[in-house]
C-alpha cells in the first residue's frame, strides 16, 4: 500500500555505533523479501567471531523502531524492545551472538495489534508480548546460519501478513508522511493539520509508534543528521544542524547526546 511504502521511501533508521568488524565485533544486516519491506527494515546480527578481551557495552541509539531480538545460541532467550526516547546501553559480555528484526515505525502494531506505547523505553521478554512468535523463535535450530534463519523468519512474518487484515488510520499516515518529508523539522501544531485534534493525534502516535508526534519528529530529525554522515569538520563549517531546525549548536549537542549517548565530537572522532 502506498501509505506504507512512503515510510521506507523517506526513512532509513540506522544504528551507527557498531560498524562492520569494529573491535573484533561484526554487525551485519540483511534486507527482507520485497513483500515485507514496507514492514521490516532489516534483519540484523551482532556477534563476536572470537571472544573479546574485555566485556562489551552495546549502545543503541534512538531510531523510532521496535525490534525483536534473540540469542542465536539460545533462541528461547528472546525479547522485544520498543521505541526509545533516548539512547540505551547494556553490557553483553565477551562473547555473544544476537539476531534481530527491526520493524519500521507503526509496522509492529499493524502486524500484531500490540499498542506501541506498552513497549516504549524498555525491553521485555517476548513470551509476555507475543507468545506465538516466542514459540516460533524458540524452536529455531541454533546451528542454522544467520541467512537461513532470516529466511525462515521472513516466511513466518509473511504468513502473518497473509492472514492479517491490515486496518489503519489514514490521518495518522498523512501526519507521518509530513514528518518524513520535512525530516522532522516542523511545527507540530501548525504543520500536522490532518483533520483531527492535537489530542487525538497524540493518541494515534502513542498507539502506532509509542510516543507523541513531537517526540517522534525529534528522532526523525536526529536520524536525518546521522544519515547525512557528517564529519566534525562539516558540522563546524556547514552547520547542517541549523538546516535541520536546531536553534543553535547548544540545542543540537543536547539533542544529539540524548539520542546517541555522547556528543557529536565524541561520536564522529
Tens digits of pLDDT across the chain (269 residues): 666 777 888 999 999 877 655 678 999 999 999 999 999 999 999 999 999 999 999 999 999 999 999 999 999 999 999 999 999 998 999 999 999 999 999 999 999 999 999 999 999 999 999 999 999 999 999 999 999 999 999 999 999 999 988 888 889 999 999 999 999 999 998 899 888 899 999 999 999 999 999 999 999 999 999 998 887 777 777 678 888 888 888 999 999 999 999 999 888 76
Q: In terms of domains, do 41 and 130 share one?
A: yes
pLDDT at 2: 67
pLDDT at 94: 94
Residue ending a domain, among 163, 194, 227, is: 163
Q: In terms of domains, do 146 and 263 share one?
A: no
Map residue 75 onto helix, strand or coil: strand
pLDDT at 244: 84
Residue ending a domain, among 163, 187, 219, is: 163
For 3-52, the DSSP string reads HHHHHHHH-----TTS-TTBTTBEEEEEPPPGGGTTTEEEEEEEE-SS--
pLDDT at 259: 96
pLDDT at 231: 78
Q: In terms of domains, do 141 and 175 share one?
A: no
Residue ending a domain, among 143, 163, 183, is: 163
Measuring CA to CA, which residue among 165, 155, 158, 166 is closest to residue 208? 166
Domain count across the chain: 2
Range of the domain at 18: 2-163
What's the CA gap between 5 and 36, in Å, rounded?
A: 11
Tracing cell 536553534 back to the chain, one arrives at 247
Q: How many CB atoms lie within 10 A of CB 155?
A: 13
pLDDT at 194: 80
Q: In terms of domains, do 9 and 56 share one?
A: yes
- pTM of the predicted structure, to 2 decimals: 0.94
pLDDT at 172: 92
Q: In terms of domains, do 131 and 192 share one?
A: no
pLDDT at 234: 75
Measuring CA to CA, which residue among 149, 129, 157, 165 is closest to residue 36? 157
Q: In terms of domains, do 140 and 62 share one?
A: yes
Q: In terms of domains, do 182 and 92 share one?
A: no
Q: In terms of domains, do 132 and 80 share one?
A: yes
The CATH code of the domain that includes 182 is 1.10.10.60
pLDDT at 243: 81
What's the CA gap between 163 and 165, in Å, rounded?
A: 7
Distances (CA, A) of 47 to 25, 62, 134: 6, 21, 21
Amino acid at each position: 500500500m502506498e501509505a506504507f511504502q512512503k515510510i521506507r521511501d523517506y526513512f532509513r533508521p540506522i544504528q551507527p555505533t557498531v560498524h562492520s568488524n569494529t573491535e573484533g565485533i561484526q554487525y551485519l544486516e540483511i534486507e527482507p523479501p520485497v513483500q515485507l519491506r514496507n514492514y521490516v527494515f532489516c534483519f540484523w546480527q551482532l556477534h563476536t567471531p572470537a571472544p573479546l578481551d574485555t566485556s562489551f557495552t552495546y549502545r543503541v541509539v534512538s531510531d523510532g523502531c521496535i525490534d525483536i531480538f534473540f540469542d542465536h545460541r539460545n533462541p528461547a532467550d528472546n525479547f522485544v524492545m520498543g521505541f526509545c526516547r533516548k539512547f540505551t546501553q547494556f553490557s553483553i559480555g565477551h562473547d555473544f551472538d544476537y539476531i534481530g528484526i527491526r520493524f519500521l515505525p507503526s509496522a509492529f502494531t499493524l502486524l500484531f495489534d500490540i499498542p506501541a506505547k506498552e513497549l516504549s523505553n524498555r525491553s521485555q521478554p517476548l513470551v509476555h508480548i507475543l507468545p506465538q512468535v516466542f514459540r516460533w523463535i524458540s524452536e529455531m535450530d541454533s546451528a542454522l546460519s544467520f541467512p537461513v534463519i532470516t529466511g525462515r523468519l521472513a516466511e513466518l512474518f509473511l504468513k502473518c501478513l497473509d492472514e492479517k487484515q491490515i486496518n489503519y488510520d489514514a490521518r495518522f499516515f498523512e501526519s507521518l508522511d509530513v514528518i518524513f518529508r520535512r525530516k522532522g523539522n516542523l511545527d507540530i501544531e501548525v504543520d500536522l493539520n490532518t483533520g483531527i485534534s492535537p489530542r487525538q493525534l497524540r493518541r494515534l502516535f502513542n498507539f502506532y509508534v509509542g510516543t507523541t508526534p513531537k517526540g517522534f519528529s525529534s528522532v526523525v530529525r536526529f536520524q536525518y543528521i546521522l544519515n547525512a554522515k557528517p564529519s566534525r569538520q562539516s558540522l563546524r563549517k556547514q552547520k547542517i544542524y541549523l538546516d535541520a531546525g536546531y536553534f543553535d549548536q547548544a540545542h543540537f549537542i543536547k539533542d544529539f547526546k540524548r539520542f546517541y549517548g555522547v556528543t557529536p565530537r565524541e561520536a564522529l572522532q
